[in-house]
Structure 1
Amino acid sequence: MRTEHFSLGKLVTSLVVVFCAASYSYASDIAKSQNDTRDYQSITLENGLSVLLVSDPDTDKAAASLNVNIGSAANPKNRAGLAHFLEHMLFLGTDKYPEAGEYQAFIQSHGGSHNAFTALKNTNYFFDINADDLEPALDRFSQFFIAPLFSEEYTDRERHAVHSEYSAKRRDDGRRTYAATQQSMNPAHPASRFAVGNLDTLSNDKEGSLRSDLIKFYQQYYSANQMNLVIIGKQPLNQLESIAQQYFSTIKNTKAQTFIIDEPQFKPEDLPLELAIKTLKDTQSLSLSFPTQANLPFWKSKPLYLLSSLIGYEGEGSLLALLKEKGWATGLGASPGQSFASESSFHIQISLTPEGLKHTDNIVSLFFSFIQSIKKEGISQAIYNEEKLLNAQQFRFLAEQEPIHYVTQLTQSMQDFPQKNWLNAPYLLEQYDLSAINQFTQAIRPDNMVLSVKARNLETNFTEAYYDSEYSINKISANRIKYWQQAELINSLHIRNANPFIAENTNLQPGTDNQLKPIQLDTGKPGVTLWQHQDTTFKVPKADLYFTLLTPLARNGAEVTTGLNLYTDMVSDELNKSLYDAGTAGLSARIYAHQRGISVRISGFDDKIEVLSKLIAKTLRKPELSQARFKRVLQAYQEQLKNSDKDKPYNQLFRVSYEVLMHNASLSELQKTASNYSLEQLSSLVDELFKSIEVRILSHGNLTASQAKKLTNALLQELQPIQTAQVAPQIDILRLEESSVLTKTLDIEHNDSATILYLQGDNLSTQTRAATALLSEILSAPFYTQLRTEQQLGYIVFATPMPLRKVPGIAFIVQSPTSPPKVILGSIRNFLNSFRSQLKTIPKQQIAQFKSSVVARINAQERQLQELSNRFWQEIDQNNTKFDTQEKLTKAINQLTNRDLVNIYDKLLARQLVLQNTGAGAKLNLTSDSAK
């Protein structure tokens, strides 16, 4: 039986084209960053579609995003998940391109990526592509909104994919706690309802019923007047205009009404209330949420943003600093919540220690003490001016984002802000509105609060239906409210002082464009190498200073791995107040342990980079190893290790693959070591670390060679290593045996099973690495289409390159709510066998397209200073001091023949690692058998 195709717009296409030719409205008064060289133009097509065009002649990637001003809030009450399901269905064929996987295959084979998301108030579709391929991509993309098929075959099939997505996250604590919180909301508010969808809510018992509801929803809400579109391309604006008109003017305008949410999220008479929610992971947290008036009308003065900045501050005088001192908390965040037509909300989230869980009422009291100080002192003009300066600096020197992220952000900005401010609205502070600040502050009070406590061992009396979340809801007693209302001012809690890390000098260092790659500068010290590159490409007063301390100790097993992680956590915790100030001033730092030692990455305005780098180095050498800090950091690390067992199955399998292939300490070894690790062990490790280290440094950005040398000398003076020498340890990757399969089966407590099949290259040659990357590019889209779209094995299905150091490899991943590992592995292997036959016959022209695609990925344009720094740093880490990996791989890819690909594919198939989980009760085992 032939399925009727639904073709919205097919009958009106020719008519609309005639009328659209001269029916634009234009505007170009869009405020942009001084650092932004792109051109912008806003047009409105005759059908009411609002379009922002961005011309960037230098871009290697084009991108587009279409935002529909409707989301899961509009789900019919008897069809939970319908908006999300519709998002899925648009990818599965249109009148013009009826093949279900055609769009994905085209994007993948032209160097691109794509995705979509359904939120409460909007649905967003987006992609990027090689810049030369924008038009054919837009042709395919636009058809989603003109003539989707909604075939009955895929309507019935894809609801299983939605169910798999739901199933994959049933044990996700974020989803579970939100589902429990929904039970306390106003039932009339759409946020209170299940939104993802599953087989029950998307039932199709009566043939065609689901498709009928889908088409009705699409026709009602997917109207051009409720859409925003952003296109970034290398074409000039007038050409982008023609492209937008050609491909999007036939989207039908049904003059759909804007979907307004005007119910309160929480009924006023239900407040204040307290939720207790059981978590699966061994974590503790406390959150406070306060309904407020609508926040969006105050976007120029941003009162909730300012309150978030003060309450979320982590430096001297902050709430978090006091809670850490008491041993009650490890982290704190404050942020505005989602904004609706008639209200917004304000949220505080506090990560608790086990001891803090015993003092939740005291913590809430301290929070209201801090609110009292804000109400008393007020947010001064000086604080406002500092925030305004920091935001202005950030926008003035705004780093260029990846096009795919930028278009997605802009389509949503178009939904919320005036056209002139589509780019700068998030950074704009234009009005110091003390009255508005006071209005929002008054909403932060005990009797207007939703208080949530989340932990693993709480008493509850209800179970939520979709995620099995255990929870309880209770009114808060008058005595507790009175206790918090009477919270007194505390001297140690106060509004922050001026930020000492704000950049004062934002001038660019004089330099030339001659230096294309880092050069090695003489340090005069054995075991100390300095690489320097004064960058003039990005034209920002910023720099990246990276340094690493390499030691053979790092490969000495679980005890050292545990110690190095605790050491860097201790240092980060000690520096937290300074690092927070630096971060808000645009100067970030990350201190972390890894397989060969520890590293520090400092990025941002170069004006204060010397001050921060010396402070970090000094603390590394002489950390304050207090017992109180160690106890708090150790507890957090133990929790992190313990909760790794609660991660998604496929993530756990990936972790184990690194344990097996890179000879890393296993999770169980780390858990055992951390359970009785002492401060004395840590102190001894720090002493041992500095006896002999290798130091590597990269200075990249707005720093001269002489400044780089000065910084290096300052670092070494603070680090005071007893000896520096070339002692960097090597990481030996396990080489899998030919014609055998190494199989590891895990016992994971989760509804879903998962399987990873890893194929390893037989050598480290550039040709094998190039071929592996190209093979991954060729098979990625058909693998997804076959196992996910056609076979519906699960929502999480993908193939990805998996290089380990210089050892090439490909991984195939499937997580399924219904299929056991044996079935999954069989499907993967059937695909691989079938693909081998296809590989021999792929036309040269198609291979050339895939080569172009993978070469584009390898040579992807670095849009931010830090992206280029990271590539230089990776080359330094792998001892490639010619910095020419991209060039070598590009050359090798272009020289590959079909015969090369088949030969290397066969060698990949000969070396396999299988990781799988079979659910509760399975025993961990390690076996080897013959490859099939």
Structure 2
Amino acid sequence: MSDPSVRLPGAWLRYVFALAVTAVAAASSLAADPVESVTSPVQSPNDDYAYRLVTLDNGLQALLVSDPDTRKAAASLDVMVGSGDNPRGREGLAHFLEHMLFLGTEKYPDAAEYERYITEHGGSRNAYTSFEHTNYFFDIDAGHLDEALDRFAQFFISPNFDAVYVDREKNAVEAEYQMGLKSDGRRGLDVLQEVMNPRHPFSQFSVGSLETLADRPGSSIRDDLLAFYRKHYSANAMRLVVMGAEPLDELEAMVTKRFVQVPNHNYTPEPIAAPLFDPRELPMLVTVQPQAVSRQLQVNFTLPEYRSEYTSKPMSYLGNLIGHEGEGSVLALLKKEGLADGLGAGGGLDWRGGSLFSVSVSLTDKGVEEYERILQVLFAYFDLLREEGPRQWLFEEQAQLAQLSFRFREQGAPIGYVSSLSSGMHDYAPRDVLAGPYLMQDYRPDLISAALAALRPEQAQIVLTAPDVPTDRRSEKYDVPYSVKTLTEEDIAGWLADERPDELHLPDPNAFIAEDVALLPLADENPELPEVRHEAERQRIWYRQSEEFRVPRGALYINFRSPAVGESAAQTAAAVLYTNLLSDRVNTFTYPATLAGLNFSIYKHAQGISMRISGYNDKQLTLLKRLLGVIAEPAFTQDRFDNVRADLVRSLENAVAKRPSSQVLDDLREALQYGEYGETVLINELQALDLKGLTAYADAFWRDAKAEALLYGNYPASAVGELSDLLAGQLPEGEAPGLPPLRVLKLAADESIRFVTDVPHADAVVAWYLQGAGDAVEDRAATSLTAQTMRSGFFQQLRTEQQLGYVVSAFSWPQHDVPGLVMLVQAPGHSSAHVADAMQTFMEKLPEEVDEPAFLRHRQALVNDIMEPDKNLLERAEYYWQSIARNQVSFDRRQRLAEAVEGMSREAWLDYYREHFLESRRSLLVVAPGEQGDTPDGPARELNAADAIKTDHAVYTIE
């Protein structure tokens, strides 16, 4: 679980809210005085939740969602206030306030109370701060919603802002700021904020630091927090979503009695009159040197605010066309010319008075040198769109796809659902809070034309990010080298093509849109669980119709297994490059399928190559036939081979820009799993691989390949035979050779390894992995229980109380069902030795912290989590598919683990914990020393390479 954090909008970080949705609700039978009005939102025909939207007397709107079958309840409250509302000179105040609300209230003063209650009852909690929003959310086992809401509501009624925690929590904000110093997302945003109009509030530093949150003469940070809270945290600016198993009337009573107490200050956000960019400084060219080796061209335009036009969505219309990847698209031409590997387009930021439309292009090396040619192609396409004018059939095609998505809406995780709904409630009319993200019912060519009129060179802000671009200054907060220049007419003359490239044209009608969305009748012989319906020398096909999830969708998964994967770094590099090339080769025809709700992916896995097709089942086999045809004769060109390989090498080189804690976890995984290799080794293998060698590798892979497949969903039994025929055309005849087993490092009792790894960052990182005593279900149960009991206290002690870092977590981390747990801390300003000592102290004290009642709560929470029902067809398909991959074809691994957990007493758990996690540990401590430079003491075998750990070591063998 991540900690509460700043959510930075804009194309740099690509945060896109998936506003999933739907509903009709019965009118309230409660005529309670605190309720001012009741609305029944429009919902999907496929949505069986009950909904009610109430507006309380204090102006707070609450959407109630009742699902009698839910195992998890959830709630989210979104406040229309964010980093854009920070007072001048108090950058990061909104974000800091978000942190502080978790740390005690008048009714529940213990700073650990909320976190502990949520965790002990099977839940999680988090929050984010964006430019306009602060969003708080949690989930919990359904039977404990009432008590959880009581604690949650106090955030917005009577928070303490305890002076002790005000002083401490500033360090957490500072740690988050320091952690982002090497993040190219935050670094790029820092440059954007420096070059934009300083009168626009988005130009402010949003995260905060010890400097911006320091006490000042006549202005303590606590006083400023209180003033900010009292002004902005007003009931009328809040939107609440609560989802539970209770009927709507009970949910309404539960919510009303608490949230009507939230004060209403009648806060109204002020419009933002200042333009995002000073018009006198446009067109603008910004060049940025990244921390990693990324190469990107960003083209930004300011447009009017279109949020109120959600039934016509002009920006979605344009983003769909400009970001298209099929025949006739900008990307298809740029790939053909060797200039780009990817392209995205759409809204990056909205504010009260405007919006930002961005086009982002992932560049090849040639694309960096010839970025003006990319601009030429892009502006030529904009001219084409203006000349062609808005097309109603294109709008209606997008509307049809959106309507299908809404009509066959499936359930997702409650916590994500309530968070997205509470944010969207600010933008949609009450009756549209569920349907709003999907509505495209009003064709407005005038709005489309007006938006297109702004996409001109003289109004563009261009950002070129690449390692060797010229720079002449450094940004203040993140020390990013960059330059900025206002361009002249002569400068942009080269962006205007003399002739439009013939390859550019509007997309053809989408041939993959589902036409037959009828639900097939369930066959009498439909098995209760997937069963093998076809088996041959090189094929095995599992089949089951979906009974619980009655939608016209299906999951068609194929695992092509071959001994030519995973036994060496060369094989791994070749397999990853091969699948990337195949994805690139088929992209022009699979992209329209993706738009039509027919998803496709192909990727390397531990024992082969997996291909997945999911979504509307109407045209899946048609798509598969085309895909297998390309695999049979891929016809890779040298140019695309070179560019795809270079892009893959760059992605590996960019690992240095990942969060340090993520890099350390990658190193830990490499040390534990045979067949996992580090970035440097893979880069060397990729650079040594040529097109001829790759072709030879692909031939060897398919010569020894066999296929295992799953058909689960709205499929007739005849689909098994059709799939078998298609696979037969791809696979050779004869018996396939055997596969080498998967292997996981097996640590011995009392074995202690210290793995010191090099992560170029000032922060120290410690990832302490403790392996279970074996791989039996009892070991998995005891290890999972240990992780569950550690979660809340570990965060509270090492993060909140000791302020060791921003990233602080303890969690279960099995590897191919070999149980283990990890304690992870990324610590600015503390040595890894100090962090390891704090971890050790915590583990020693854990037994006395987990008394019998607490243990029983944790045990039940873990059982509930294990047995959490699948929410939709794809979740169920994933469970089946992972069970098949593990050869656990009784499909009861959840039940067996839950029974093992439920059968473990506190005494049995304590015995296991003391013996295997305190006294005779199987320990692998991964340490990135950071600027402090030292490492933990103690008896351990110290190594500095994953290969050295795995050499001649005992292993778990997974057949």
- Give the TM-score normalised by structure 2: 0.92
Equivalences for residues 540-559 of structure 1 within 5 A: 540-559=551-570
CA drift at 1:706: 2.4
- 2:470 maps to 459
Q: Is the 8 A contact 1:744 1:924 kept in 2?
A: no
Give 3-state SS (helix, strand or coil) of 2:703's partner.
coil
1:669 to 664, 681, 685: 681
Q: Is the 8 A contact 2:372 2:494 kept in 1?
A: no
Q: Does 1:865 align with 2:879?
A: no
Rounded to whole Å, the distance in 2 between the matches of 1:930 and 1:369 is: 62
- 2:731 maps to 720
Rounded to whole Å, the distance in 2 between the matches of 1:761 and 1:494 is: 59
Rounded to whole Å, the distance in 2 between the matches of 1:524 and 1:812 is: 44
- 1:136 maps to 147
- 1:7 maps to none
Q: Is the 8 A contact 1:546 1:697 kept in 2?
A: yes
Alpha-carbon spacing, 1:657–1:513, altered in 2? closer, same or farther (3 Å)? farther
Q: Is the 8 A contact 2:703 2:731 kept in 1?
A: no
Q: Does 1:708 align with 2:720?
A: yes
Q: Does 1:52 align with 2:35?
A: no
Q: Does 1:511 align with 2:522?
A: yes
Rounded to whole Å, the distance in 1 between the matches of 2:679 and 2:188 is: 26
Alpha-carbon spacing, 1:219–1:921, altered in 2? closer, same or farther (3 Å)? closer
Alpha-carbon spacing, 1:755–1:889, altered in 2? closer, same or farther (3 Å)? same
CA drift at 1:645: 2.8
Give 3-state SS (helix, strand or coil) of 2:511's partner.
coil
Q: Is the 8 A contact 1:543 1:700 kept in 2?
A: yes
CA drift at 1:628: 1.3
Rounded to whole Å, the distance in 2 between the matches of 1:514 and 1:299 is: 46
Aligned pairs, number: 909
1:193 to 169, 186, 204: 204
- 2:302 maps to 291
Give 3-state SS (helix, strand or coil) of 1:501's partner.
coil
Rounded to whole Å, the distance in 1 between the matches of 2:932 and 2:488 is: 45
CA drift at 1:522: 4.1
Moved more, 104-113 or 706-715: 706-715
Alpha-carbon spacing, 1:722–1:33, altered in 2? closer, same or farther (3 Å)? same
Q: Does 1:846 align with 2:854?
A: yes
Q: Does 1:415 align with 2:426?
A: yes
Moved more, 792-801 or 910-919: 910-919
Q: Is the 8 A contact 1:20 1:46 kept in 2?
A: no
The code of the aligned residue for 1:750 comes to: H
CA drift at 1:621: 3.0
The CA deviation string for residues 260-280 of structure 1, in whole angstroms up to 9 with x for no partner, is 322211111211111011101
1:400 to 411, 414, 438: 411
Equivalences for residues 220-235 of structure 1 within 5 A: 220-235=231-246
Rounded to whole Å, the distance in 1 between the matches of 2:460 and 2:925 is: 50
Rounded to whole Å, the distance in 2 between the matches of 1:174 and 1:644 is: 14
| Alpha-carbon RMSD | 2.0
Rounded to whole Å, the distance in 2 between the matches of 1:879 and 1:923 is: 44
The code of the aligned residue for 2:425 comes to: M
The CA deviation string for residues 240-292 of structure 1, in whole angstroms up to 9 with x for no partner, is 11011122111111222324322211111211111011101111110101111
CA drift at 1:337: 2.8
- 2:707 maps to 695
- 1:600 maps to 611
The CA deviation string for residues 394-425 of structure 1, in whole angstroms up to 9 with x for no partner, is 11111212111111111121101111111111
Alpha-carbon spacing, 1:715–1:378, altered in 2? closer, same or farther (3 Å)? farther
Alpha-carbon spacing, 1:252–1:550, altered in 2? closer, same or farther (3 Å)? same
CA drift at 1:868: 0.8
CA drift at 1:384: 1.4
Q: Is the 8 A contact 2:765 2:930 kept in 1?
A: no
The code of the aligned residue for 1:551 comes to: S
Q: Does 1:331 align with 2:342?
A: yes
The code of the aligned residue for 1:440 comes to: A
Alpha-carbon spacing, 1:859–1:724, altered in 2? closer, same or farther (3 Å)? farther
- 2:9 maps to none
- 1:892 maps to 900
CA drift at 1:195: 1.0
Equivalences for residues 820-835 of structure 1 within 5 A: 820-835=831-846
CA drift at 1:342: 2.0
Equivalences for residues 466-481 of structure 1 within 5 A: 466-481=477-492
CA drift at 1:105: 1.0
CA drift at 1:79: 1.1
- 1:105 maps to 116
CA drift at 1:29: 3.6
1:904 to 908, 912, 917: 912
Q: Is the 8 A contact 2:586 2:627 kept in 1?
A: yes
CA drift at 1:851: 1.5
Q: Does 1:915 align with 2:923?
A: no
CA drift at 1:58: 1.5
Give 3-state SS (helix, strand or coil) of 1:733's partner.
strand
Q: Is the 8 A contact 1:365 1:487 kept in 2?
A: no
Equivalences for residues 770-809 of structure 1 within 5 A: 770-809=781-820
Q: Is the 8 A contact 2:232 2:267 kept in 1?
A: yes
- 2:446 maps to 435
The code of the aligned residue for 1:41 comes to: R
Q: Is the 8 A contact 2:834 2:936 kept in 1?
A: no
Rounded to whole Å, the distance in 2 between the matches of 1:924 and 1:786 is: 22
Give 3-state SS (helix, strand or coil) of 2:288's partner.
strand
Q: Is the 8 A contact 1:109 1:853 kept in 2?
A: yes
Rounded to whole Å, the distance in 1 between the matches of 2:550 and 2:588 is: 30
Give 3-state SS (helix, strand or coil) of 1:510's partner.
coil
Rounded to whole Å, the distance in 2 between the matches of 1:524 and 1:859 is: 31
Rounded to whole Å, the distance in 1 between the matches of 2:564 and 2:727 is: 21
Alpha-carbon spacing, 1:599–1:517, altered in 2? closer, same or farther (3 Å)? farther
Q: Does 1:162 align with 2:173?
A: yes
Rounded to whole Å, the distance in 2 between the matches of 1:206 and 1:440 is: 48
1:385 to 386, 396, 409: 396
Q: Is the 8 A contact 2:765 2:826 kept in 1?
A: yes
Equivalences for residues 755-766 of structure 1 within 5 A: 755-766=766-777
- 2:14 maps to none
Give 3-state SS (helix, strand or coil) of 2:226's partner.
helix
The CA deviation string for residues 194-216 of structure 1, in whole angstroms up to 9 with x for no partner, is 01101101113669811111111
Q: Does 1:375 align with 2:386?
A: yes
Q: Following TM superposition, where does structure 1 have runs of at least 4 consecutive aligned residues deviating by more than 4 angstroms?
A: 205-208, 512-517, 920-928
Give 3-state SS (helix, strand or coil) of 2:182's partner.
coil
The code of the aligned residue for 1:209 comes to: S
- 2:592 maps to 581
Q: Does 1:236 align with 2:244?
A: no
Q: Is the 8 A contact 2:538 2:733 kept in 1?
A: no
Structure 2 runs not aligned, ≥5 long: 1-29, 943-959
CA drift at 1:467: 0.7
Rounded to whole Å, the distance in 2 between the matches of 1:368 and 1:474 is: 20
Alpha-carbon spacing, 1:651–1:591, altered in 2? closer, same or farther (3 Å)? same
